[in-house]
C-alpha cells in the first residue's frame, strides 16, 4: 500500500518471504519492491513508508492516532529510523530502531536507555510479548555491563533461513493510472474511471493497484473528510455521479463502522433505491455498508476478530463467484460481520466455515459485496473476483 503511493503502477511485488531464525528470536522477513515513479524522489519514498507499518500496525492513520493518545509521550529515536541518503544519486537505505541503545552524556557521565519490543498481532499474549522484549534486549544489556556475562534466558545458535512460498505474484503488463482526487466536482478525470472510496484504510492503494494493473483508470476519493460530507447529501451525490459518470464504484475497507463514512453510506443507499445504475462493489466495511442499508444486522463476529488470516469461503457459484472463484481461501481483516436477513433484495452467495456471510449479490442490479479482501496477496484467485466485477456494465 505504502510503496504504491510512489511506485509505477503494476511494479509493486513481493521479492522475498523468509523466516530468519536467530539465537533469541525468529524474524518473518519480507522484501517488497517497486519502481520509483519519475516524479518522486527517495525523500518522497521515505515519507510514504514512514513510520514503518510493522511499527504502527494498520490502518496506519488510525492506529498512529491511537498510539499518540495512549502513550501521550514522544518515543524519541526508538521505532524511528537511522540511515543514509546520497543527494547525487538519490540512493538511500534506512532501518527501524527497535533493539536500540540510546545514550546521553550529561557532564562527564553517560546514561543509556535500551529499547526493545515486538509486533502485537490479533493473537498476541501480553505476557509473551513482554518476555520477548526482555529476550531481545539481552545482547545490548550485556555489552553495557548491565547483565552478568553468564546471564542468558535463551539458547544460542547460528542463523537459519527458511524460505516460504510467495503465494501470489502480480504480473501486470497493460496498466492504467491511479489518481487521488481532492474535490470530485472539479476533477475531469473521473469520467469512465473506477471510483474508489477511501475509508482511511491501509489497503486502499492495494485495491487501486490491482484495478489499474488490469488496465483501468482509477480515481480515489477520501470518504471521511469535509468535502465527502458535502457529497454525502443525496442531491449533491446524484448530481456528481450524473455529471462525472464513473464506470464502476468500489466502497473500500476501513476501520470503525460503516456510519463513520457518510459518503459510503450515501452511495449504498442510492444504489439500493435503484438510482445509481453504476456497478457497485463493497469490500469489507463497504460490504457492511451495503448490508446494513438493506436491513442486515451488524454484529461482533461470534467467532472472534480475524486479522490477516486466510479463511475458506464456500459459494454457490453465482455473481462474482463463478467458475474457479467458487470455493477458495480469502484473507479477512475484520471483527464485525453482517447477520440476519435483509429486505430480500440480496442473496447470500458466499459464507465461511461457520456460516457467516462473506458475500452478497443483488438479485437484479450490478451490486456486489465481499467481507474479505480479494486484493490481498493471501487471497487465492482474489484478482478474479475484481476482474469479474470490472466486466459488469453500467446498463446491466
Q: How confident is the model at residue 263 (pLDDT cuts 50, 70, 90)?
A: very high
Q: Is the Cβ–Cβ distance between 373 and 285 less than 8 Å?
A: no
Between the CA atoms of 130, 131, 133 and 138, what dihedral angle is there, to the nearest 10 degrees? Answer: 150
Report whether 237 contacts 267 (CB < 8 A): yes
What is the per-residue pLDDT for 170?
A: 76
Contacts of 60 (CB under 8 A, 6+ apart): 51, 53, 202
Per-residue pLDDT for 154 more than 70? no
Distance CA 309, CA 329 (A): 9
Sign (positive or negative) of CA dihedral 70, 73, 74, 76: negative
> By percentage, how much of the chain surpasses pLDDT 90?
51
Percent of the chain with pLDDT over 70: 96
Exposed/middle/buried for residue 395 (C-beta within 10 Å: 0-12, 13-18, 19+): exposed
CA pair distance 298, 269, nearest whole angstrom: 16
pLDDT for res 30 = 85
Round the average pLDDT of the chain to a whole number and report it: 89
pLDDT value of residue 247: 96
Question: Mean per-residue pLDDT for 87-110?
Answer: 89
- pLDDT at position 373 is 96
DSSP 8-state assignment for residue 372: S
Q: What are the cell numbers at 102? A: 540510546
* Nearest C-alpha neighbor of 263 from the set 295, 236, 228: 228
User: For residues 371 and 284, is the Cβ–Cβ distance under 8 A?
Assistant: yes
List beta partners, residue 19.
28, 162
Quick one: pLDDT at residue 362? Answer: 97
Rounded CA-CA distance 129/93 in Å is 29
Report the catalytic residues.
284, 373, 375
Distance CA(197)–CA(359), nearest Å, equals 19
The CA-atom distances, in angstroms, between 334 and each of 166, 209, 300, 331, 339 are 24, 22, 9, 10, 14
**Distance from C-alpha of 177 to C-alpha of 225, rounded to nearest angstrom:** 23
Distance CA 366, CA 230 (A): 26
Instruction: State the DSSP string of 124-178.
Output: --HHHHHHHHHHHHHHHHHHTTSS-TT--SS-----EEEE---------SS---E
Range 21-50 average pLDDT: 86
Which three cell numbers mark 116?
A: 526493545
Give 381's pLDDT tier (boundaries 50, 70, 90). Answer: confident
In the chain, residues under CATH classification 3.40.50.880 are: 178-390
Q: Which of 46-55, 134-143, 346-355 has the highest mean pLDDT?
A: 346-355
Q: Does the pLDDT value for residue 396 go beyond 50? A: no
The model's pLDDT over 192-214, given as tens digits with 9 standing for 90+, comes to 999 999 999 988 999 999 999 99
Instruction: Using pLDDT thresholds of 50, 70 and 90, give the confidence band for residue 370.
Output: very high
What does the alpha-carbon distance between residue 57 and residue 55 come to, in Å, rounded to a whole number?
A: 6
Helical H runs in the chain? 42-49, 53-56, 60-71, 126-143, 204-213, 226-231, 234-244, 262-272, 285-293, 382-390
Provide the whole-model pTM: 0.88
Task: For domain 178-390, give the CATH number.
Answer: 3.40.50.880
203 or 149, greater pLDDT:
203
pLDDT tens digit sequence for 207-252: 999 999 999 999 999 999 999 999 999 999 999 999 999 999 999 9
**CB distance 359 to 281 below 8 Å:** no
Residue 156: band (very low, low, confident or very high) from pLDDT cuts 50, 70, 90: low
Amino acid at each position: 500500500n505504502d510503496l504504491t503511493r510512489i511506485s509505477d503502477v503494476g511494479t509493486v511485488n513481493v521479492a522475498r518471504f523468509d523466516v530468519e531464525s536467530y539465537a533469541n528470536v525468529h524474524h518473518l522477513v519480507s522484501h517488497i519492491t517497486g519502481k520509483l515513479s519519475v516524479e518522486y524522489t527517495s525523500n518522497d519514498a521515505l515519507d510514504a513508508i514512514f513510520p514503518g507499518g510493522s511499527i504502527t500496525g494498520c490502518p496506519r492513520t488510525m492506529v498512529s492516532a491511537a498510539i499518540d493518545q495512549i502513550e501521550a509521550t514522544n518515543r524519541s529515536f526508538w521505532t524511528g529510523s537511522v540511515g543514509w541518503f546520497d543527494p547525487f544519486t538519490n540512493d538511500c537505505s534506512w532501518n527501524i530502531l527497535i533493539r536500540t541503545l540510546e545514550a546521553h552524556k550529561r557532564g562527564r557521565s553517560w546514561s543509556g536507555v535500551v529499547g526493545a519490543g515486538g509486533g502485537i498481532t490479533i493473537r498476541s499474549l501480553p505476557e509473551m510479548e513482554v518476555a520477548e522484549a526482555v529476550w531481545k534486549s539481552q545482547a545490548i544489556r550485556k555489552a553495557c555491563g548491565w547483565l552478568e556475562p553468564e546471564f542468558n534466558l535463551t539458547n544460542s545458535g547460528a542463523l537459519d533461513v527458511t524460505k516460504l512460498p510467495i503465494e501470489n505474484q502480480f504480473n501486470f503488463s497493460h496498466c492504467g493510472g491511479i489518481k487521488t482526487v481532492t474535490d470530485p466536482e472539479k476533477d475531469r478525470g473521473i469520467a469512465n474511471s473506477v471510483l474508489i472510496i477511501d475509508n482511511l484504510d491501509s489497503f486502499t492503494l492495494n485495491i487501486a493497484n490491482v484495478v489499474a494493473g488490469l488496465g483501468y483508470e482509477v480515481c480515489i476519493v477520501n470518504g471521511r473528510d469535509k468535502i465527502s460530507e458535502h457529497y454525502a447529501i443525496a442531491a449533491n451525490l446524484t448530481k456528481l455521479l450524473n455529471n462525472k459518470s464513473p464506470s464502476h464504484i468500489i466502497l473500500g475497507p476501513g476501520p470503525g463502522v460503516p456510519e463513520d463514512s457518510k459518503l459510503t453510506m450515501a452511495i449504498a443507499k442510492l444504489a439500493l433505491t435503484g438510482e445509481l445504475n453504476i456497478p457497485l462493489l463493497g469490500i469489507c466495511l463497504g460490504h457492511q455498508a451495503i448490508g446494513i442499508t438493506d436491513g442486515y444486522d451488524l454484529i461482533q463476529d461470534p467467532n472472534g476478530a480475524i486479522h490477516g488470516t486466510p479463511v475458506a469461503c464456500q459459494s454457490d457459484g453465482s455473481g462474482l463467484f463463478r467458475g474457479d472463484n467458487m470455493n477458495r481461501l480469502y484473507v479477512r481483516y475484520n471483527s464485525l460481520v453482517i447477520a440476519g436477513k435483509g429486505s430480500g433484495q440480496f442473496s447470500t452467495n458466499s459464507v465461511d466455515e461457520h456460516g457467516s456471510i462473506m458475500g452478497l449479490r443483488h438479485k437484479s442490479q450490478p451490486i456486489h459485496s465481499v467481507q474479505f479482501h480479494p486484493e490481498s496477496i493471501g487471497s487465492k484467485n482474489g484478482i478474479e473476483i475484481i476482474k469479474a466485477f470490472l466486466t459488469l456494465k453500467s446498463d446491466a
